Amino acid sequence: MKAMILKRFAPIDQNSLELVDLPIPEPDSEELLLCVKVCGVCHTDLHTIEGELPEVKPPIIPGHQVVGVVEKVGKNTSRFKEGDRLGVAWLYSACGKCAFCQRENENLCETARFTGYHVNGGYAEYIVVPEKFAYSIPEIFSDEEAAPLLCAGIIGYRALRLSEIKHGQRLGLYGFGASAHVAIQVAVHWGCKVYVFTRSEEHRNLAHKLGAVWTGTSRDEPPTKMDSSIIFAPAGELVLDALRVLDKGGTLALAGIYMTPIPEMDYVKYLYHERTLRSVANATRQDGEELLRIAAEIPIRTTTKVFPLEDANKVLELLKAGKISGAAVLRISD
């Protein structure tokens, strides 16, 4: 099978991924083999490739927003059959036994494994996935539309929940890439007033089209304080900008797996009056199931740009430069 593989950490402009031909993997008794149709491209892939995340051990195939069709089933599987269209997300497996799993926080499992990070991901023609961690894809979505939902959508949904935003409240979104442009649609569906902070004029225009009541940069003064906010961009300095316009008792959720250092802050100016600052770490299968159900109900529309697998390095370079509006998707097979 063809695959784009990371053999050594390097800046993406050095063509870090190499196109190779590998054997098709075999599923074990509780796994499924999927023929990959598309795979979304995520900032986490970029951080993985450039060596900014711990635990990654090359060689590894990135990619964790995978839509494919079941080609082979393990002998102890029963949920899905050959020909079913399924999704593979960031959470590849969890033990189900540790304290975190037992309290419904499998996203924090001590031995969790993540797709394209601990195990080979979707920048390839085939992928193996544990049946328990595969998702049915609603028929309303094409392959390209579904791919961003499997990470950008799921983590955006969890970030919304952890931001504690409520119906009718004011929500700030910082950065307007793939996650934010899904999250805004859920928030608007919930009746929230959404304010988008981004440097890109193109992204601000898209935000307005998707229902934002105001857009500007992080240094601009919005017309009112936020009840909750989410930072999607991996820039630590945004934390102070977001806290500055967060109302008393509000929550700021940090949705990225990676962030540059957060500057020292004045406690009274930024955090006092019961403001909450919290991170968002991964997501659970429940988050994924709920997001896909809500996405089909709305229905969420994802803005995507499709590229061939061989262009993965170029796509990631565009993503790093902030030149992708919406979500980038690699087309692996027809």
Domain boundaries, the chain: 2-150+282-331, 154-279
What's the DSSP call for residue 104?
A: T
Lowest mean pLDDT among 19-33, 69-83, 200-214, 320-334: 320-334
> pLDDT tens digit string along 277-295?
999 999 999 999 999 999 9
Q: Quickly count: other Cβ atoms within 10 Å of residue 317's Cβ.
A: 18
Mean pLDDT of the chain: 96
How many alpha carbons lie under 13 Å from residue 111 in its C-beta half-sphere?
A: 6
Per-residue pLDDT band at 144 (split at 50, 70, 90): very high
CA 103 to chain centre: 23
Which runs of consecutive H residues, i.e. helices, occur in the chain? 43-49, 99-102, 143-146, 152-162, 178-189, 201-209, 238-244, 267-270, 285-297, 312-320
Per-residue CA distances from 240 to 145, 174, 200 (Å)? 34, 12, 20
Ramachandran area for residue 249 (φ above 0: left; ψ -120 to 50: alpha; else beta): left
pTM of the model: 0.93
Give yes or no for residue 326 having a pLDDT over 90. Answer: no
Two tokens, residue 8:
């050594």
Q: pLDDT over 90 for what percent of the chain?
A: 94
Going by C-alpha positions, the residue among 332, 256, 284, 232 that lies closest to residue 92 is 284
Query: Which burial class, exposed, middle or buried, applies to 223 when counting CB atoms under 10 A from its CB (0-12, 13-18, 19+)?
Result: exposed
Relative to beta strand 91-93, strand 85-88 is: unpaired
Cβ partners under 8 Å of residue 95, min gap 6: 101, 109, 110, 111, 112
**Amino acid at the residue 294:** I
> pLDDT tens digit string along 197-225?
999 998 999 999 999 999 999 999 999 99
pLDDT score, position 219: 95
What would the CATH number be for the domain defined by 154-279? 3.40.50.720
Give yes or no for residue 236 having a pLDDT over 80. Answer: yes
Name the CATH superfamily for 2-150+282-331: Medium-chain alcohol dehydrogenases, catalytic domain (3.90.180.10)
pLDDT score, position 322: 84
The sign of the CA dihedral 200, 205, 209, 215 is positive
> pLDDT tens digit string along 2-36?
999 999 999 999 999 999 999 999 999 999 999 99
pLDDT score, position 112: 97
